[in-house]
Structure formats: C-alpha cells, structure tokens
Amino acid sequence: METRDAAGRSVSNEWLGRVMQEPVHPHPAPGSTARAAAQTDVLVVGGGHAGIEAALAAARLGARATLVSFRIDRVGEMSCNPAIGGLGKGQIVREVDALGGAMGRVADATGIQFRMLNTGKGAAVRAPRCQSDRHLYRAAALAAVEEAEGVELVEGAVVGLVLEERAGGPGVRGVRLADGRELTAPAVVLTTGTFLRAVMHTGESQVAGGRVGEASADGLSDDVARLGLRLARLKTGTPPRLDAKSIDWERLEEQGGDADPRPFSFGNAAPFPGLPQVPCHVTYTSERTHEIIRANIHRAPMYAGRIHGVGPRYCPSVEDKVMRFADKDRHQIFVEPEGLTTDAIYVNGVSTSLPAEVQEAFIHTVEGLENARFLRHGYAVEYDFVRPSQLADTLAVRAVPGLFLAGQINGTSGYEEAAGQGLIAGANAALWVQDRAPFVLKRHEAYVGVMVDDLIVSDPSEPYRMFSSRAEYRLLLRQDNADRRLTRRAAAIGLAPREAADAAGRKEARIRAAIDLLGASFVAGGRSRIEILRRPEASFADVADGLPALLELALDREEKEAVEIDVKYEGYIERQEENVARLAKQEATEIPADLDYASLTGLASEAREKLAQLKPRTLGAASRIDGVRPPDVSLLAIHIERRRRERAGT
Amino acid sequence: MKATIAAIASAPGGARRGVIRISGARAADIVRACCRVDGAPPTLAERLFFEARFDDGHGEQPALLLWMPGPRSFTREDVAELHLSGSPPLLACALARTLELGAEPAAPGEFTRRAFESGRIDLTRAEGVLALIEASSEHERRAATALLVGGLDGRIAALREGLDGLRALCEASLDFDESDTGHVPTGELAAGARAVEEGLAEALTWEDRRAQQSGLPRIVLAGLPNAGKSALFNRLTGAEHAEQSIVSGLAGTTRDARAADWVVGGIACRLVDTAGDDPRADPRADWGADRAAQERTGEERSAADVLLWVVDASAPPADAPAAAEPRRSVLVWNKIDLARDAAPSARLLAAAHEHVAVSAATGTGLADLGLAAARALGVAGGAAPSGLGRELHARHKACLAEAHRQLGEARANLDAGAPLDLYAESLRAATASLDRITGRTTPDDLLDRIFSRFCIGK
C-alpha cells in the first residue's frame, strides 16, 4: 500500500513518468494561419468504429472535427459479427470508455446479451462481451456523433487526398469528394477500413467493394500509394446470414447471458441493461459438412489461389478449419441474433467464401439448420493496408505531415482495436493542430498502448487482433481498473470529462480506505483480514463480516471486487511494477533520429536493415523489433551512450 | 565507425612467443605499414598465415602474421595477429608501433565484447572465454573450456524451449474460451510444468557439480574434536541447510567433510567442515571409518585456500597444529560465551594471520569472522582475484534456482486454487530468470561488470 501515493498511482509509475522521455509529434505543428485557412481542424475519413472515436476525441479536445462518410446511414455499422468485446477486446472497450470514448456507452445501450468471459482464469484475463442489436447500435453510434459538440457530419465519397508541398516532402491539406468538392484541414485521419482497393469474393465471382452494396475506394488507395507509403494485402471473411424463421430452434443448445450483467461503461447512469435480453444458440458442423467442404475446396478463392492477402489464423474460415484441423470431427457454430426486430441470424464460426450453392449445401447438413434460408451468403474481402511501421506512436504517418491512420487500414482486425486506434489518432491529430503535447499510452499503461507499440514496430502478416498475452504487464491492465488507470490522465488534457475523473478518484480512495481497514483489523489467531483475503479461496464477503467501518464505506460490487483483486494480486503487481521500472531506462533511451545504422559495424545485417527501415524512437521499441537481438540492442545502447558522452565532452 | 584496437594478447611475463592482436577496419592498413612479406606489403585479400618481417620503427624482426578478414573472425571485424618473439620490451615496442599507426589500446575485455556485440558468441560463451583467461589450474581450465564450447547454453536453450512450450500452452488457455480450438486441458499443463521443473532441478545439480569441479575458493574448518567446528558451520551457512552437519556435545561426531556455499566479502566460497584432528579422543572409536575421515581431512586442508582453525577457548590446546600455513590461517577463538576472560596464548596467535573471538552458540563475532576470512583469502592471493569463474557459477546457479523456485511456488499456488493468469505471470518471470544467464535480457550494468573483468588482449 505504501507504494501508492494519495492519487492512488503507484510511486514507481510516478517515478517512471519523470524519467521517461515525453513523447513528441513527428512534425512541427501546422501553425495558426494554416488552421484558420482550413474549413476544419481534423478531417476524419470513414464512419466506422475508428472514425467515430477519432472525430469524437478530436472534438472533446476542443478541435473542430469533420467526419466524412460514404453514407451517413452506415455510420457505426457492424460489418461483421453483431458483438462488442471478448477476450483481449473487452479490455480495450473499457479503456476507450475510461478515455472518454463512445463505444462502451453505445454497447451498453444496445446490448441484447451480456457475458463476462474467462471468469475462472483470473482477474487479468476476464473480459466482457455483448451481443448487440445491429440496427440500434448503428443508430446510437450515429446519435453520439450527431449530438457531440464540435463534430460536423458530411456525406460524400472521398476519391482522393489534397496534397501540398512542404519542406521535406508532400503534406496533406484535405480530401477531394466525388462531386468535386474539396474539404480542407491541417490534419486528416484515414479510417477507411477494408475499402482500399477492396475485392469481395464468393466462390468464383469477384466484385469490387469493401462491404456488400458499397464501393471500393480505389482513388484514395492510389493517392496513398503515390505518397510513397508501402502497402500490403490482407483478407478477412464473414459468414452467411440466415433467416430466424427457417431455423429449427428446438434442436440447438441454448446459451444465455450472465444473470447479473455488467455494463462496459464506468459512468453508466442509464438503466442497465436497457434492452430485453435474448439467448444465443450453439450447434455443430458434422462429418457430412466437412465432406462437402473438402469436395469443393478447389472452388474456395483462397485455396484456388485467387486471394493473395493473408487471412487471420485466430478466426479462420470454415474451409481453413476443415483442412487444417482434419482430426476434428466437428466444429462449434454460434447462432447469434442480429437484433430484437430482425430475423437476421449471424452464424459465428463458419466464415466462408465458397460459392453460394456450396454454402447452402454445407449449412443444410448442420443440426437445426437443415432448412435454413440464406438472407446473405458469406464472402471474403481482400484489401490494401498501409504497413503500420510507417507510423509514429501518435498514429501520424512519419513521412507525411498531417496524415493519421487508424483501424483496419493499419492491418488490424476488430471493432474494438479500431476504436482504440481511432481515439489515439483523433486525439493526437487535434493535439498536433493545437500545438499541444501528444497523448501516448505506454505498454504498461493500457492495451491501447500495447497495440500501438506493436503496430509501429512490426508489420502484421495477418490481421492484428488483441490477445491478453500481447501485454507483458497484463496484471496491471485489467478491465476492472481501466478507469483508475486512465481517466484522470485523460481528463487532465480534456479528453475525458472532469466528473469521470472525480468519480475514478473517489473509487480509488474508497478502495484504498477499505484495504487499509482490512490491514488494520485482526481476527483470532493474530492474522489481519488482508492476510486472510490473500488466500485463493477467500472472498470479500468472508472478511467484511464484523467490520462496521467497512460496511459504512458501502462499496459497490465493482469496488469490492477491486479490493479482492488488489489484495490477491499485490505481490505479482509489485513485481510487474518493478520490471517496468527496471526496463524504464532502456525504454526511455532515445535513439537519435539521424543515427546512421550503416555505420554501426557490429549490427547483424537483418537487424541493421530493419532498424534503418523502422527507425524506432527508443531502445525499448528497438528491442521489440522482430529480428533485432539483444547484442544488437546492447550495441545500439553503447553507441548512443558514447555519442552522448562525446557531445557532452565537446 | 568503431576504433581499431590493438593489445598484447599473450600472457604477461617472458614466454617464447608473444602475440599482438589488432581488430577493426584499419587493421589492414596498419599491417601493411609495418609488415613485409617477400619484401612487399602483404595483399591481405583472404584468410592467410604468412611468414613476414615486422618493422617496429627501430629495426626488423621475423614474425608470423595471421590475417582473418571480417566477418570470418572472432569479432567479425578484420583481425590481424602478429606472432613475435616473446621478449616483453620488444612486444611493448611492437604494440607502440601499431598505436602510432592509428590503433587504439584495447580496453579490458574489448575483443570479447566486440565478439558478443557482433552476435558471435552469447553471454555464457563470453564468460567461458573470461574464465579460461583467468583459469589458474588445469581443472579450472577444463571447466572453462566446457563453458566455452557451449555446455551451458545448450542446456539453457533446451530448458528455455520447454518453458516456451509451457507458456504457449498456458497463454493459449487464457486467450481462448473453453469452446475454442486453442483451449488447453489443465492436466496437460500440469504435466508440462512438472517436466520443466524437473529439467531445472537437474540443471541445478549439474551446475552445482560443475562449480565444485571448477573449485570455488575453499575455506576449511579445522581443529580438535568438539572445538565447535560443526556448530560454526551450521551458523555460517544457515541452520536449515540441507547438508547440515550433525552436532552433538560428543566430540568427533563429524566423520565426513561437509560443504556448503558461504559468501565472504562478496565472493562465493565453499565452506568445508572436517572431522576433528584427534581420533584418539573419540570414546566410540571406529578406527577404520576414522582413518578414512582423517585422510579426507588432510586432503581438504591441503586444498584449502583459507584454514579456519577453531579452538575451544574454554579448553585451549597448548600448541598450534602442525603444517598450517600461518598466512592463510585464521585462529577462531570459539565458545567465548563459556570462557569470557580467556585469551589465546602468544604461541597460538603466532600460528595464524589473525584471530577472531566468536561464539558459535550465541552468534557473537561471526560477522568479524567473515571479514577475517575475506582478508585471508585476499592475502592468500590467487583465489580471490581469480574468483570470477566462481562468480559466474554463482550467478548461473542463482538464476536457475530462481526460475526453479518461481515455478514450484507458482504450481503450488495453482494447485491451491490461484488463478491461471498468476501462473502465467510466474512462467514469464521464470523465463526472464533463464534469459539472464544467456544474456537475452541481461541489463547493461551486468554486461559492463562482466566485460570489465576481461584481461586485455582477449
């Protein structure tokens, strides 16, 4: 307990805050003249989960934000599964909420089934997930944008970037719309998802476009390539949608939500859950299903060699599952409602790009789906992404002043990952325009920080999805403490509301007070209540009995859990904090931007190539680059130190 | 660009042949400026061994020139070795000449540091080189050679692989829900954990044996039966030690030499307890066993770097033991709790470097005893300054033991119902402990400490 200060931050983190270098924008601010001449401050292209958070974050920071979307009625669309959260992802939603973002509140208002996952495996890997009503989600997300002060919505197809020559190369000044209009802004945030040079595949048929019924953005893709940015291709898939009326529900296993559902949002004041709750269902593929898929595998675009992009290993198509896990005789299928007022059913687990008739044939072999009617067939999308190693930790493109990228355009997958990046990109675009210090989260501070750091030091070879194992300081980054970790910091720059920060402060103080009370109270045998609570099987209720002062604190459910976790994880958390401190020096050592890697003779050639290409800003980032080994990092450290001494000596 | 470095790489003191080693981009220029092969500067295109003439600016002498162009050299830089006459003044002149020609004197350990930095060797190998240089005896040299050829890093790599596999299982279990393909049954995890723990335990024993072979400085307890040697041994090495000596009021209980680690003045040592000097004092004499014990005691004493000669202050002997070398001996005036006013005689004092009054029973004076032993180790020479190979063993062992402890504790917690995310955390910590051995996560200060101990020229 002594390792925390009055504000509840650990002292070692305080210390870190001092020793770690402050992050910097990669380009000098555009200046007030450029800002005054432009129509808006931050122009966000794309109204998906990244774009929404980017525009809202910029506006919260006091910048003028404009969001341009193909179709306003598609803002907040859930292009794939109608669900928010999940393992590794639920933590991001909680962080986005703690940072003032909209995703958590929208999900709370439109969720039709809430579950806490992984409850038996420990507090650090517990994660919330909900099924959403797709239509209501979209409406609530659009409402959040429309109601936000300082955000303007523009409908239009962006066909290109407006560039201008600046010292050191071209900069971005705005975007061009299909109708010939130009929108100008010193900062442009691209959140175009899978729409760059997008091709949809269903069996042998190919259609240009990033989502059913929507066009591809090829002009933009050309402009991005013209800027000299390196692109690569990825693919992602989506399963068929079925008609609820055609499913034999009696034959499926029912899977309900939690009896005591929890909201994503920390400040959730609305009645929760706000919508009626519904069950999901589970069924399985059969040997017959697998036979049909195997017999038609040559007609699957990826197996037939038509798709060149790499698909995700963690969310494979049903073709992949059947071919790669040949020993499994069945695979699970989650039958998920898309909403309360629609008959559309999302069949999670059978994403496919097989021809329509093959999809129908294999789906009809699944128990309960024998007579299922297809509302839409599954398809795969192949698209361009910008190799994210060209980004700074603010998600600004290092080579192009004024350009920021977030979401699937950076090679990531998932609404939550997109939202986290959108928030960081939008906030930093605003801060850059306003000539204020950037807002960067570090690996030990947030999953969002882990994600950004991962992206900028390595180019994903499959769509990047968050896993809790990516976070080496996972015990510090829990879904339950996102507000305690982040809200006060966000509020300090205006990113989160003051009241939310006050609430997080009060929560922290109450938790501390409870722990102090438990530490000062002894039971028979001379042991403190803290010691008892530390045992794996003990719960808060076990130690709260007969401690009136504790009852007077009237902790809510979340706070009681936080007390339990803080006490049980204390030793481990301290060790992680020590590790953070130990690595701080390396983490903070800045690599001079003009360092000539070619002159460092000791570097292994792979390391030299990657370092020269990725130009990591700190030794910590360098050490995480794949192919850079410890001797290379030592050599860099020694070189930097020698150079510093030489400069100091002269 | 790194400086080109040069140093005398052969052992100091006149040997028949001496070696100047040069490493760096300017090595070729330097060699061409001071060496002639067949009357002309050598071409140095490929790896070669030349007969040459070396000119130190004052006169020529015959030399063998070994040229190893980078990256096919120890440092991955261009390396030249000049094998010259071993006369120290001539070697000094030759080195001075290479420095005139633009080389910089190599810092201690700099050649090896460059090899490590270029990825040529990992940390255990670098340590092997170091130990080899400092090896003062044939068996130490053998142990160092084993370290150099990768005995340890091979083992660590295997352990690391097992641990990585276990971590992958565990993480998969955390990152996928029960229904997913990646979920792992707990039984499989437990089996993997046991295998890794056993591997670590085995490596620990192995490392322990190696430390004994390479010989930590040996501090030997000697003295008459019932002088309190074993009580002292237990006190100094921790009473709960597994190899605890049997202590009884009855003289002559200790038959076998027992040993345990004892750190004095920052140096890891082996503290050895021996049987008493005088078997005739044992009323339960079993002569055969006693004779064997006496022989071992003799061996231990002759192998001792420092002798702690324990004397019962309440019943001191008249004479010092025969054959003890006073400058390596400390007189331990024990049982002062029983004989407050007694003082050792001049004769006893003369037989030791210094004396310390202690009570093994109460613990009085033990800190002073540690300091006295460290001083004696320093006076004895050899052992203390060249204790580096031993330091390394102590470091490896500590890292292995830490990893083993973390895993064992974590599994016990898991069995007691602690959540899996905490177990995963312990696996991560254990991996970090292992990585400290091979230098994968070695902090810079440790690197500096290790490299500064290298002698110039290697």
Q: Both B229 and B329 in a single domain?
A: yes
Q: Both B63 and B163 in a single domain?
A: no
Chain A, 97-156: which have a CB under 8 Å from a chain B CB?
117-118, 120-125
Residue B422 and residue A572: Cβ atoms within 8 Å?
Answer: yes
Residue A123 and residue B417: Cβ atoms within 8 Å?
Answer: no
Q: Both B63 and B46 in a single domain?
A: yes
Q: Both B224 and B209 in a single domain?
A: no
In a domain, B137, yes or no: no
Query: What residues in A contact B422, CB-CB < 8 Å?
Result: 122, 475, 569, 572
Query: What residues in B contact A469, CB-CB < 8 Å?
Result: 171, 174-175, 424
Measured CA to CA, the distance from residue B233 to residue B228 in angstroms comes to: 9
Last residue of some domain: B361, B380, B399?
B380
At the topology level, CATH places domain A238-378 in Elongation Factor Tu (Ef-tu); domain 3 (2.40.30)
Average pLDDT over residues B370-385: 60
What local confidence, expressed as pLDDT, does residue A339 receive?
95
End-to-end CA distance of chain B: 21
What local confidence, expressed as pLDDT, does residue A214 receive?
67
CA-nearest of B253, B320, B313 to B281 is B253
Residue B440 and residue A88: Cβ atoms within 8 Å?
Answer: no
User: Which helix (DSSP H) or strand (DSSP E) does residue A225 occupy?
Assistant: helix A218-226
Residue with tokens 């930097």: A640
Measured CA to CA, the distance from residue B363 to residue B357 in angstroms comes to: 11
In this model, does residue B138 exceed pLDDT 80? no
Provide the token pair at A400: 């192009």
Residue B167 near residue B189 (C-beta atoms within 8 A)? no
Of A18 and B377, the one with more pLDDT:
B377
Residue A452 near residue A442 (C-beta atoms within 8 A)? no
- pLDDT tens-digit readout, B269-312: 778 887 766 544 444 444 445 556 666 666 666 667 788 889 89
Q: Is A629 on the interface with B (CB under 8 A)?
A: yes
Extents of the domains making up chain A: 238-378, 589-649
Sheet holding A182-184, edge to edge: A158-166, A169-177, A182-184
Q: Are strands A344-348 and B306-312 parallel, antiparallel or unpaired?
A: unpaired
Residue B170 near residue B427 (C-beta atoms within 8 A)? yes
Q: Is A371 on the interface with B (CB under 8 A)?
A: no
Packing angle between helix A570-588 and helix B420-438, nearest 10 degrees?
40
In a domain, B102, yes or no: yes
Provide the token pair at A348: 């999670």
User: Which helix (DSSP H) or strand (DSSP E) does residue B334 occupy?
Assistant: strand B329-334
Residue B421 and residue A121: Cβ atoms within 8 Å?
Answer: yes
Chain A, 66-105: which have a CB under 8 Å from a chain B CB?
87-88
Query: What residues in A contact B119, CB-CB < 8 Å?
Result: 602, 604, 629, 631-632
Within chain A, which residues score under 50 in pLDDT?
1-21, 650
Chain A, 554-583: which have a CB under 8 Å from a chain B CB?
568-569, 572, 575-576, 579, 582
Q: Both B200 and B240 in a single domain?
A: no
Burial B202-227 (b: 16+ CB within 10 A, else e): ebbeebeebbeebbbbbbbbbbbbbb
Measured CA to CA, the distance from residue A215 to residue A207 in angstroms comes to: 9
Q: Both B230 and B160 in a single domain?
A: no
Tell me the CATH architecture of domain A589-649. Orthogonal Bundle (1.10)
Q: What are phi and psi of A205, to 5 degrees?
A: -90, 140
Q: Domain tally for chain B?
A: 3
Q: Is A644 on the interface with B (CB under 8 A)?
A: no
CATH number of the domain enclosing B248: 3.40.50.300
Among chain B residues, the shortest Cα distance to A123 is held by: B421
Q: Both B190 and B72 in a single domain?
A: no
Among chain A residues, the shortest Cα distance to B117 is held by: A631
Q: Are strands B104-105 and B79-85 parallel, antiparallel or unpaired?
A: unpaired
CA-nearest of A389, A427, A442, A395 to A16 is A442
CA-nearest of B196, B42, B152, B113 to B455 is B113
Residue with tokens 């006013």: B341
Share of chain B above pLDDT 90, in %: 5
Neighbouring C-beta atoms of residue A330, cutoff 10 Å: 14
The listed range with the strongest mean pLDDT (A401-405, B256-260, B382-386) is A401-405
Q: Both B23 and B42 in a single domain?
A: yes
Average pLDDT over residues B226-232: 86
Last residue of some domain: B58, B81, B106?
B106
Measured CA to CA, the distance from residue A263 to residue A565 in angstroms comes to: 19
Q: Residue A274: CB partners within 8 Å, gap ≥ 6?
A: A108, A109, A110, A111
The listed range with the strongest mean pLDDT (A30-44, B86-100, B427-441) is A30-44
Q: Both B248 and B199 in a single domain?
A: no
In this model, does residue B139 exceed pLDDT 50? no
CA-nearest of B110, B107, B137, B113 to B125 is B113
Q: Both B81 and B11 in a single domain?
A: yes
- Average pLDDT in chain B: 72
Query: What residues in B contact A467, CB-CB < 8 Å?
Result: 171, 175
Residue A469 and residue B2: Cβ atoms within 8 Å?
Answer: no
Identify the band that residue B442 occupies on the pLDDT scale cut at 50, 70 and 90: very low
Provide the token pair at A528: 């403190």
**Report field, pTM of the whole predicted structure over 0.90:** no
In a domain, B199, yes or no: yes
- pLDDT tens-digit readout, B332-345: 999 888 887 888 88
Residue B419 and residue A120: Cβ atoms within 8 Å?
Answer: yes
CATH number of the domain enclosing B398: 1.20.120.430
In a domain, B129, yes or no: no
Domain that holds residue B79: 5-106
CATH number of the domain enclosing B42: 3.30.1360.120
For B335-386, list the strands marked E by DSSP. Answer: 354-357
A44-58, A92-106, B130-144, B172-186: range with lowest mean pLDDT: B130-144
Q: Both B194 and B267 in a single domain?
A: no
Q: Both B347 and B226 in a single domain?
A: yes
